[in-house]
Amino acid sequence: MSVVRLLLALALALCLAVPAFAAGDVPEQTVTVIEPQAEQRVEPVVASGEQPVTMLGAEGEQQVMTGEEKGPVRRGFETAGKVVLGVFAAGTSLAIMVAAFLL
């Protein structure tokens, strides 16, 4: 049993050493300096005009917070579309899972 372990260790050491000996000499590397052809110049961006800020009263704030109201028909169509999309996504995922099991 110890002879088998010794041969196994020798084979492992040989497998690790052979690629290192086969590589041979590594060619020298040279470093080439690349000089920039043109210097970069940083120019600040000048603001053309500042954005005005105005205070809102209670009625102005209410106008901003409320958006377009959706009617019941539109909400129904959106909900139906979400349900159809969910059912389609679930069916697609189940089909892919079954295909993965069969392959």
In a domain, 92, yes or no: yes
In a domain, 91, yes or no: yes
Q: What is the predicted pLDDT for the residue at 92? A: 96
Q: What is the predicted pLDDT for the residue at 3? A: 85
How many separate domains does the chain show?
1
Residue 95 has pLDDT above 90, yes or no: yes
In a domain, 88, yes or no: yes
Higher pLDDT, 88 or 20: 88
Per-residue 3-state assignment (H helix, E strand, C coil) for the chain: CHHHHHHHHHHHHHHHHHHHHHCCCCCCCCCCCCCCCCCCCCCCCCCCCCCCCCCCCHHHHHHHHCCCCCCHHHHHHHHHHHHHHHHHHHHHHHHHHHHHHHC
Express each pLDDT in 39-64 by its tens digit. Answer: 777 777 776 666 677 777 766 665 55
